[in-house]
Amino acid sequence: MMDPNSDASESQTQITAVEPQQQQQTQQIGKYGTVLEAAFVDPAYQWPSPEGVGKNAIELQASINIMTDDNDSVKTTESQKKRMTIPENPANGKQGKKTRWWNCCGRSGGDSAILGLAEYEKAKRSALQERKIHYAAKKSRAREQRMKNRYNRVPEGILIYRLDTATQTISLMSETHDQTDTETLVRDITLVSARPSPDKSRRGMLLKGFVEDNLDANANAGEDREETRGDKTLKEITMVACEQRTAIAWLEAIDLMLANKQRMGVSFKKSQKSNGWSNKNLTGQELDQIEGQYLNLASYSNKLIRANKGSNKKSSGSAAGMYYSIENNKDEHKDEQQIFEEEALESIAKRRAVIKDSWDFYRMICSLLRDRRKYSEVFRKLQLDPVYPYLHSMTGLNDPGDAGYVNTDKEVIQKDFDRYQQMTRTQVAEDLNKQAEAALPSLVEICKALAGSLGMEEVGIGPIKETQSALKKAEKKYDGDLLKITDFCRALLVVKDLPSLLALLELARDSFGPLIRRVKLSSLKSDHSPLPGGFRHCIINVELKGHICEIQVHLWPMWLVCGVDGFRHYRHCVEYNTDSFENAFDALEGLDRKTMAELIVMAEEAVAETPLESLEWFQEKFILDYFAEIGLFMKHGIYVWAEITLRTLVRLRTESPDVGPNHHETFLLYTYLEQVLRTIGDHKEAQEIQSRIKNHELRLESEKADAEKSMWEMVMAAPTEAIDMIMDPNKKEREEEERRRKEVKASKKQWRTIRKERFSFLDASSNNSVSESPTSSAVSLGGIGSVTTAGFGRGEEKKVDADV
């Protein structure tokens, strides 16, 4: 996976940057850091709140109180105005009457005039300094007033807490409610450790730290009292956020904070526990930079989420989201901070764009591998069809087999005219394009005739391949040979099932056999590899008006996986070589911890409108988002939330009528859940899940055995055949060959039965009765003609017929 750090190193900006002369003081606790504020659930209330509760709480906030004291006033008082007023310049005091230049100094008072100017300059500097101090303090007081009044009235059931990474504290900012349990309420805690809570909502945090020991003794029964510090006791508390992204951002910030030994100071070293970031052995300055960059991104992402939710009708928890904020905690004036934020905003946006591209790429890999597993499952079921062994035994025409994507030895090529020797490659491509346009009407007639006879599920005529696309394909796939491109003129047919495919092959052979140049069946055979991405189909190349065209024949169950987007799936799988690994989470290998944390921010942005506890079984887009996030949690070491998400997805897949408990996707989730459980030490349940997975694999093998058994029963219907099989030499190769022969024979019998029931018109086609029987539904191709010779599959068919 591409490293997001590669293109954005210059755009990264830290929010906690300090001046060079200030860097020596960074070891002082509480000097630098970040302030985060967010809404948490009051344990005495339900969340999400019932519809309508707290909806208008923001509009009911109290107004700002106007203070009159100079030190607290938001407005400018008269005394402050007086101190900030610049006195009149004495040099301008007597300019009412103009004087000659040689008389100005003589009439200005000499030394007294100079003294007056000195006092004026001093008073001017004092006034300007008073203005600077006043406006800075005014903005600070106004901000404090807004913060005070912001939390005067919050929705019922919400408590606003502030995390200050400079002091390692979490403090309650809002007032309590009527039902709040004030005896167990934690107002301040100095953090020592933090970890995710096993809460099913994935919004909980287990925090350990020093809390004021003013709670009732009975209420504290059973709680840890490992250590005390003055009037504070070490306790573990649970806090549940209103938004799941709040818990994620806060835990990451706390993790960074506790790893920063320079900021924490000596007093915290003994109580600090190992965490993900502390294992990286980074310096305090490096951790400060990472914290600033991460929280900048989290804050920016949150603002985008809130802006997008403003237009949505369903905005559960929107009131709580109003209180989510991340702010800088630095000793700088507001004016300087504003300038810094404006300069940093562009770099933050660039960084987010890079991380967003990385998230989109990783999610696409998860999607491609998911669809590849779907194709594999569809093909597994197709092999259970009674007629599949017969199809597997057929021999194609000029079939390259497992030649792969790059096939420089392709046998079927366009005609090489003498005029091409005098043409450029672009001119040759244009000439082939014109030939394709001339052949297109004939190809349309063939497809119409086949569709009319067999009743296709889908029929499509593709656009003529453009010149530039042909040049790119030739360079990439055929070593620049344009004549090996046989899909300038192309069409697709989607047949219902395997018997329909067999009928189409027979109808094509008997109707326009001499025009057929290639029949590629190899990708539909179990002993051959599929196309990149897992797709399998049949290709028929026909020569029409001197130009080779292509008909792609798709099976409906395969087509349902991606539909018309199947080609895009194939192209992406070729481009990113997705067949080189089985696990989508392997795409995260090599990424650093900071990038992983930032990708989780993007994942939360993607699922913001659908929290995990609100996810439904039919929301495929968000199910894929959460599945991709599971990989990030596992790689980042947040196994608790990976487990919670996996259990939710297993439940949703089990509830889905299109998936169910025995589906391959459900058991893929079980596989990851087993890994997570073993990592966190729950070996008992992991063993139970492993047994369930093994039973599922045995069940799949049993299905295959039952399908083979049913065909063998057809073969064993005659007693003489049973005796012959008993008397057969006991050689494995001979037994396997005989088994295949009998299997194909049974499959051919099954095909004959289906052919008679569903495709009886094929007999008329094979007897050249197309023009003689007006009631026949066989293919009539007008000027193309109707023929009976076969170009493929004859040898194997004759062999099978001899046994029937």
pLDDT per residue over 95-154, tens digit each? Answer: 455 555 445 554 445 555 555 777 777 887 887 887 778 777 777 777 666 666 667 777
Residue 39 β-bridge partners? 160
Q: Are 520 and 501 in contact (CB under 8 A)?
A: no
Q: Could you tell me whether strands 538-544 and 516-520 are parallel, antiparallel, or unpaired per DSSP bridges?
A: antiparallel
d(CA 358, CA 360): 5
Give the full edge-to-edge strand order of the sheet including 458-461.
458-461, 490-495, 547-555, 538-544, 516-520
**Residue 715: pLDDT over 50:** no
**Residue 769: pLDDT over 80:** no
| E strand or H helix that includes residue 797 | helix 794-803
User: pTM of whole model > 0.85?
Assistant: no
Look-up: residue for tokens 């599929």? 530
Higher-confidence residue of 407 and 652: namely 652
**Residue 66: pLDDT over 50:** no
Tokens representing 194 are 């933090």
pLDDT at residue 582 in the model: 87
d(CA 371, CA 566): 9
Helices and strands in the chain, H and E counts: 22, 13
Tokens representing 426 are 């672009």
pLDDT digits over 383-396, tens only?
999 999 999 998 88
d(CA 316, CA 692): 38
d(CA 252, CA 204): 13
Tokens representing 527 are 């002993």
Instruction: For residue 260, name the pLDDT band (cuts at 50, 70, 90).
Output: confident
| E strand or H helix that includes residue 196 | strand 188-196
d(CA 642, CA 453): 53
The mean pLDDT value for 146-173 works out to: 83
b/e sequence 152-162, b meaning 16+ C-beta within 10 Å: ebbbbbbbbbb
pLDDT digits over 271-289, tens only?
444 558 877 788 888 888 8
**Residue 85: pLDDT over 90:** no
21-35, 40-54, 607-621, 658-672: least confident range? 21-35
CB within 8 Å of 173: residues ≥ 6 apart: 37, 147, 151, 160, 161, 162
pLDDT at residue 801 in the model: 36
**Residue 322: pLDDT over 70:** no
320-324, 616-620, 661-665: least confident range? 320-324
Q: CA Rg, the chain, in Å?
A: 38
Alpha helices in 544-619 (DSSP H): 556-562, 566-576, 593-606
pLDDT at residue 353 in the model: 95
Maximum distance among all alpha carbons in the chain? 144
pLDDT at residue 689 in the model: 96
CB within 8 Å of 515: residues ≥ 6 apart: 542, 543, 544, 784
Give the closest residue to 293 by CA, choosing from 668, 589, 10.
Answer: 10
Mean pLDDT of the chain: 78
Q: Are 592 and 345 in contact (CB under 8 A)?
A: no
pLDDT at residue 573 in the model: 94
C-alpha 314: how far from its chain's center? 23
d(CA 486, CA 473): 11
SS3 content of the chain, % helix, strand, coil (to 5): 55, 10, 35
